[in-house]
Amino acid sequence: MSVQATAIKPGSARKSPPPKPYHHGDLRREILCAARTLLEENNIASLSLRAVAKKVGVSHTAPYRHFKDKESLLAGVAAIGFAEIGSQIARAVEMHPGDPAAQLQEAGQRYVQLVMDNPQCVQLMFGGILPCDDTYPDLRAAGDLAFERLKMIIEEGQSSAVFKQDDVELLAMTAWSCIHGLSVLFIHGSLDIAASTTLEIHTFTKAVTATLLNGIGTG
Beta-carbon contacts of residue 132 (< 8 Å; ≥ 6 apart) = 140
Contact call for residue 36 and a second copy (CB under 8 A): no
Q: Are 39 and 91 in contact (CB under 8 A)?
A: no
Q: Which residues contact 75 (CB under 8 A, 6 or more apart)?
A: 130, 135, 136, 138, 139
We find the least distance from the C-beta atom of residue 76 to a second copy, in angstroms, to be 16
What gap in Å lies between CA 142 and CA 121, rounded to an integer?
A: 14
**Shortest distance in whole angstroms from residue 205 CB to DNA:** 34
Interface mask toward a second copy for 83-122; x: CB under 8 A = ------------------------------------xx--
Q: Which DSSP symbol is given to 16?
A: -
CB of 69 to a second copy, least distance (A): 12
Give the interface with a second copy as residue ranges (CB under 8 A).
43-45, 119-120, 123, 126-129, 132-133, 140, 143-144, 147, 166, 169-171, 173-174, 176-182, 184-185, 187-193, 204, 207-208, 211-216
